[in-house]
Amino acid sequence: MRQTRRIVQISVLALAAALLSQCMFIGHPAGQGPMGALFQQTSMPGSGNDLSIPQTREGKACTRRIYLWIVGWTWGEGTVSNAAAEGGVTRISTVDTEQLNVLTIYSQQCTVVKGDDKQVGPGSVSTPGPGFSDTVIMRDGSVHRNVKTIIQGNLINIIKPDGTSLTVPKTQVRTVRKGR
């Protein structure tokens, strides 16, 4: 009985230390923004936005996480392509990030895409629109040309002119050459 009580005391102490120091919180998938122990809500603009495209539509896709002591659950895909599909955005103007954290137990990171629903015509891959002038060289030797890159924390979103996107860790990228 005495040993069980001692284990409970140590567990409570460890839980309190973890909550106060936020060691228990894994963090947001992109690893960016401030973290609040009790409550935190932030909105961060992305880089590489193309404001020449009108912002008539908006889409949002979220990744959510519940983390209790040792066990955690994550669901949802907060990718650029999912956000664009959700809002019916075919030409992307801006990509922003919203984060929410409550008591380090529940966290949510959303990708917010704004743009319009103008159809992307045939041949748009060979003649990309404004903002699609970056080149990304990966460490494995593959090259992505005429793309839009958005750097978010430790991740790089590579958006292709046809609307598809690829999110890769910075460690997999050798060089990003910004275009016009």
Q: Does 4 fall in a domain?
A: no
pLDDT in tens, 86-107: 999 888 888 888 988 888 788 8
In a domain, 111, yes or no: yes
> Is 75 within the bounds of a domain?
yes
Q: How confident is the model at residue 130 (pLDDT cuts 50, 70, 90)?
A: low
Give CA separation, 50 vs 46, 84, 113, 121, in Å.
11, 15, 12, 19
CA distances from 81 to 71, 85, 90, 91, 152 (A): 29, 6, 10, 11, 15
The answer to whether residue 6 is domain-embedded is no
Please give the tally of structural domains in the chain: 1
* pLDDT, tens digit, 9 for 90 and up, residues 44-85: 887 667 777 888 999 999 999 888 767 888 899 888 888 888
Q: How confident is the model at residue 110 (pLDDT cuts 50, 70, 90)?
A: very high
The answer to the question of residue 15 being in a domain is no
What are phi and psi for residue 85, nearest 5 degrees?
-65, -40
Among 21-30, 80-89, 133-142, 148-157, the minimum mean pLDDT is found in 21-30
CA-wise closest residue to 109 among 69, 76, 154, 86: 76
Please compute the mean of the pLDDT values over residues 117-137 and round it to a whole number: 65
pLDDT at position 2: 81
* Residue 19 predicted with pLDDT over 80: no
5 part of a folded domain: no
Mean pLDDT, the chain, integer? 78
Which range marks the domain in which residue 63 is found? 25-177
- Does residue 132 form part of some domain? yes
Burial annotation 11-40 (CB, 10 A radius, 16+ → b, else e): eeeeeeeebeeeebbebbbbebbeebeeeb
So what's the pLDDT on residue 61? 93
Report the first-to-last Cα separation within the chain, whole angstroms: 71
Average pLDDT over residues 13-29: 57
Q: Is residue 53 part of a domain?
A: yes
Q: Give the pLDDT score at 57.
A: 92
Average of pLDDT values for 124-135? 60
Q: Residue 24: which pLDDT band, with cuts at 50, 70 and 90? A: very low
